[in-house]
Homo-oligomer: A and B are copies of this chain.
Amino acid sequence: MDITESRQLTASLEDYIEAIFWIVSAKGAARARDIAKRLGVKASSVTGALQVLAKKKYVNYAPYEVVTLTSEGLEEAKRIIRMHEVLRDFFVNVLGIKSKIAEEGACKLEHNIPKPIFDRLIEFMEFIETCPRAGKYWTDKFIKQCNLKKARECEKCIEQSIKSFKKERTMTQTSREITLADLMPKEKGVVLKMNRRNSVTKRLADMGVVRGALIEVERVAPLGDPIDVKVKGYHLSLRKEEAVNIIISRG
């Protein structure tokens, strides 16, 4: 009925975009054969999918030539990969699932998750990481217990928990405020304050860099600029002058 080309993406097409993204990341461009291999389909199926994706303007494609993503395609790829990674991290870090099964499961489910559930899952994972009553030790406890098929020793856990609560409390009281630029790769912090209000902070706020959010440093360039961080499943790249305006507490 509508004359305009539908830009709708099916689960299958999303997987093609995802695959193309990763192959392009690794090799600069994707060939049909690479895509076929990665997705476990025949080359003729890839040609068909590419023609559809090209019509929808998600890929740059001409017969017998290599494939890249358009800017719209790149946007979609990032969206899909964010879904994939959040789910995978939940499976691995919280549920303690083995990496391979977690990847496969994430890639099956990533296309069907309602947005409110996805958003809340991210918040929940943050809550687990930052709440003093849970934390890494707590999830590890769960995973270990599952793998050992062993009853919990709550007595010990409670005692240790009370101790670490008290320690954390005194630490929190004495710890100085630092900025995001002070963190090393793999370190995490909780956003306390954003010093400037401008278009950049607004963009960050849309991505979830708000008071209370958990932020993780992924990479820091040699001269400390830019800084790659992860917030709410988004991978962001910040300039140092932006990072120093984000006041955080280590944790």
Contact = CB atoms under 8 A, between A and B. Distances in A.
A211 interface: yes
A41 interface: no
Contact of A158 (B108, B116, B165): B165
Interface residues of A, number: 43
Nearest to A154: B132
B114 A112 contact: no
Given A120-B96, A155-B169, A127 B105 contact: no
A131 interface: yes
B169 A158 contact: yes
A7 interface: no
A111 to B, nearest CB: 9
Interface string A205-248: 00000011000000000000000000000000000000000000
Contacts of A142: 123-124, 127, 131
Tell me if A's interface is mostly helix, strand, loop or mixed: helix
A42 interface: no
A152 interface: yes
Interface string A93-129: 0111110011011001100111011001101100100
A134 interface: yes
Interface in A132-151: 132-134, 138, 141-142, 145-146, 151
A139 to B, nearest CB: 9
B152 A212 contact: yes
Contacts of A141: 131
Contact of A116 (B97, B113, B123, B145): B97
Given A151-B212, A165-B162, A108 B114 contact: yes
Interface of A: 91, 94-98, 101-102, 104-105, 108-109, 112-114, 116-117, 120-121, 123-124, 127, 131-134, 138, 141-142, 145-146, 151-152, 154-155, 157-158, 161-162, 165, 169, 211-212
Given A91-B117, A98-B116, A131-B157, 17 more contacts: A95-B117, A95-B121, A96-B120, A97-B120, A102-B117, A104-B114, A105-B112, A108-B113, A109-B109, A109-B113, A123-B142, A124-B142, A131-B141, A132-B154, A132-B157, A133-B161, A152-B212
